[in-house]
Structure 1
Amino acid sequence: MTTETNALAALLAEKPFLLADGATGTSLFAMGLEAGEAPELWNETRPENITKLHQDFVDAGADIILTNTFGGTRHRLKLHKAQDRVFDLNRRAAEIARAVADAAPRTVIVAGSVGPTGELLVPLGAMTYEDAVAAFAEQIEGLKAGGADVAWIETMSSPDEIRAAAEAAVTIGLPFVYTGSFDTAGKTMMGLHPKDIHGVAADIGPGPLAVGANCGVGASDILSSLLDMTSADPSATIVVKGNCGIPEYRGAEIHYSGTPPLMAEYARLARDAGARIIGGCCGTSCDHLAAMRRALDAHEPRERPTLETIVEAIGPLRNKSANEGASAPTRERGRRARG
Structure 2
Amino acid sequence: MATAPNPLSELLAQKGVLLADGATGTNLFAMGLEAGEAPELWNETQPEKITKLHQDFVDAGADIILTNSFGGTRHRLKLHHAQDRVHALNKKAAEIARAVADKAPRKVIVAGSVGPTGELLQPLGAMTYDEAVASFAEQMEGLKAGGVDVAWIETMSSADEIRAAAEAAVKTGLPYTYTGSFDTAGKTMMGLDPKDIHGVAKDIGSGPLAVGANCGVGASDILASLLDMTAADPAATVIVKGNCGIPEFRGTEIHYSGTPPLMAEYARLARDAGAKIIGGCCGTSCGHLAAMRAAIDGYMPGPRPTIETIVEKIGPLRNKTATESGAQEGGRRTRRRG
Q: Structure 1 length as normaliser, TM-score?
A: 0.96
Percentage of matched positions with identical amino acids = 83
Deviations 1:94-151 (A, max 9, x none): 0000000000000000000000000000000000000000000000000000000000
Which residue of 2 is the match for residue 188 of structure 1? 188
Kindly indicate whether the alpha-carbon contact (under 8 Å) linking 1:221 and 1:321 is maintained by their aligned counterparts in 2.
Answer: yes
Amino acid aligned to 2:234: P
Does 2:65 match 1:80?
Answer: no
Residue of structure 1 equivalent to 2:286: 286
Residue in structure 2 matched with residue 254 of structure 1 by the alignment: 254
Q: Distance in 2 between matches of 1:158 and 1:121?
A: 9
8 Å contact kept, 1:3–1:9: no
Could you list the runs of 5+ residues in structure 2 that have no partner in the other structure? 330-338
The residue number in structure 1 matching 2:333 is: none
Residue correspondences, number: 327
Does the CA contact (< 8 Å) of 1:2 and 1:208 recur in 2? no
SS of 2:125's equivalent? coil
After the TM superposition, which of the residue ranges 211-220 and 7-16 deviates more from structure 2?
Answer: 7-16
- What amino acid is aligned across from residue 136 of structure 1 in structure 2? F
CA distance in 2, matches of 1:217, 1:12: 27
Residue equivalent to 1:240:
240
Secondary structure at 2:138's aligned position in 1?
A: helix
Deviations 1:26-57 (CA, angstroms, capped at 9, x unpaired): 00000000000000000000000000000000
**Separation in 1 of the partners of 2:168 and 2:188?**
22
Contact 1:72 1:90 in 2 (8 A): yes
RMSD: 0.8
Question: 1:3: how far off?
Answer: 7.3
Question: 2 CA distance for matches of 1:245 and 1:124?
Answer: 33
CA distance in 1, matches of 2:127, 2:70: 19
CA distance in 2 between counterparts of 1:4 and 1:217 reads 37
The match for 1:202 is 202
Distance 1:315 1:2, change over 3 A: farther
Q: Which runs of 4+ in 1 moved over 2 A?
A: 1-4
| Structure ID, larger Rg | 2
- Under a length normalisation based on structure 2, what TM-score does the superposition of the two structures give? 0.96
Q: Find the residue that maps to 1:5 and give its secondary structure.
A: coil
Question: Which segments of 5 or more consecutive residues in structure 1 lack a partner in the other structure?
Answer: 328-339
Is 1:12 matched with 2:32? no
Partner of 2:336: none
**Distance apart, 1:301 and its partner CA:** 1.2
Give the match's secondary structure for 2:100. Answer: helix
Q: Distance in 1 between matches of 2:15 and 2:298?
A: 14
Amino acid in structure 1 at the alignment position of 2:86: V
Question: Following the alignment from structure 1 to structure 2, what is the Cα–Cα distance between the partners of residues 302 and 8?
Answer: 25
How do 1:1-339 residues align onto structure 2 when only pairs under 5 Å count? 2=2, 4-324=4-324, 325=326, 326=328
**SS at 1:274's partner residue?**
coil
Q: Structure 1 residue 16: deviation in Å?
A: 1.1
Distance 1:5 1:122 in 2: 36
Separation (CA, whole Å) in 2 of partners of 1:96 and 1:119? 28
Which whole-Å deviations, capped at 9, do the CAs of 1:181-222 have from their partners, x for residues lacking one?
000000000000000000000000000000000000000000
**What is the CA distance between 1:298 and its match in structure 2?**
3.0
1:183 touches 1:216 (CA, 8 Å); kept in 2? yes
What is the DSSP-based 3-state SS (H/G/I as helix, E as strand, rest coil) of the residue aligned with 1:298? coil
Match of 1:191, SS state, is coil
Query: How many angstroms apart in 1 are the aligned matches of 2:189 and 2:169?
Result: 24
Q: Greater shift after overlay, 1-10 or 272-281?
A: 1-10
